[in-house]
Structure 1
């Protein structure tokens, strides 16, 4: 009963704007960082979160024990598009279930492309995230801020977060990316193989199918020689058929030293 009352209390607080929340009453506080103007006219900004000790939040692919984040940019002004750069996440073991995310402090870089170059961008953003300690709860962050700096020097906190981004396949020396996909009674089974030098420690591969409404099970990952191999089950959440485009599949290898982001795979 105490846990239920705690969840209900925090659920009410989650509806408040981030700037109005008491940092000691909620598990996360957040702000939008101004950043800088890049040479091509895009504006590099970021969402900066501070999590209370013992709490964590989740990566874009949070695992079976996590809650995926969502971003709603409606109401923003002079905003054409947004590119989100996720820093390398951590792998957590939650009572035998894997989740993928962040603790302590998180900076999520945002590359904002304005409709009218050189003009300020008004960011109106609603973020729905999950936060977990002994319990997991949904949480809402709301921002309304003008991004109008004329600085061209990178902000250290954002630059550091960008430096923590996964390596590209080229940067990591990936030699191959193959996917074997087979039908099952419930959906599809995928075996992904990435030829890549060791990324450090116990490696975990995350498989993202690149299509909506498809649940992907926690991957079973192991290394064999120069390949990292992972298998997962894919099931349509509404029971429908699954059409997979291998070029849209995203494979992320997470190691203790660095991560590798691989886009697409070939049959095999």
Structure 2
């Protein structure tokens, strides 16, 4: 890239009928995990997840990809005029009739010279969810109340145009140790409402920061990525 960073991508192709999962996979999915510890001359890596689809397994909702997915990786070098040596391991879940974990290992040498954009990566980058501004989100408010067994109950009110058809809301707590239940959601007079439960995986108490909450609305026309909420 002209600024010295590098854009590459992982291209995962699945056998017919198989699926894999998004970063927030749902109740029965396996969240993907990366390990970049074997890489050299790489200061930081950010993952750009394309818009996922919603599917149901055994009556439970999952979020992910069918057939194939291209996951762009935006990397910053420690020394911009030297090659970056990418060595990664990815743990993912793949599902057909059953769900199983899979380990993928890959390596690549990324030269420092500027090249023309790869059309496959460019297409994946344009397939990301809309930002709140792009989607016309007018406001997001949250209320929190105690639930049973140490859980917190989160009520979300999203003022935004419809994303098309049935709208699914995915809630991420911003803390990997906090489990989030599949939300119940509905529209009422143009407002999208969602309610979910949050529980610490160790069963203890926890703090919830509204600015760390992340909401993804997935509809038939678009998906929308929303960061944070107010009172």
Same fold (TM over 0.5): yes
1:135 is aligned to 98
Counterpart-to-counterpart distance in 2, 1:237 and 1:231: 19
Return the TM-score normalized by structure 2: 0.97
Counterpart-to-counterpart distance in 1, 2:12 and 2:155: 35
Which ranges of structure 2 fall in alignment gaps of 5 or more residues?
none
Equivalences for residues 155-166 of structure 1 within 5 A: 155-166=118-129
Counterpart-to-counterpart distance in 2, 1:69 and 1:126: 10
Counterpart-to-counterpart distance in 2, 1:44 and 1:219: 34
8 A contact 2:14–2:66 mirrored in 1: yes
SS of aligned partner of 1:62: strand
2:179 is aligned to 215
* Shift of residue 185, structure 1, vs aligned partner: 2.1
8 A contact 2:80–2:112 mirrored in 1: no
Counterpart-to-counterpart distance in 2, 1:44 and 1:226: 39
1:248 is aligned to 212
Counterpart-to-counterpart distance in 2, 1:160 and 1:86: 12
Return the TM-score normalized by structure 1: 0.84
8 A contact 2:27–2:61 mirrored in 1: yes
* 1:41 equivalent in alignment to 2:4: yes
Counterpart-to-counterpart distance in 2, 1:193 and 1:121: 44
Counterpart-to-counterpart distance in 2, 1:225 and 1:120: 55
Kindly provide the CA deviation profile for residues 152-192 of structure 1, in whole angstroms up to 9, marking residues without a partner as x. Answer: 32111111011110011111111001111111122100011
Aligned residues: 230
Q: CA RMSD in A?
A: 1.0
Which ranges of structure 1 fall in alignment gaps of 5 or more residues?
1-37
Normalized per residue, which structure has more strand? 2
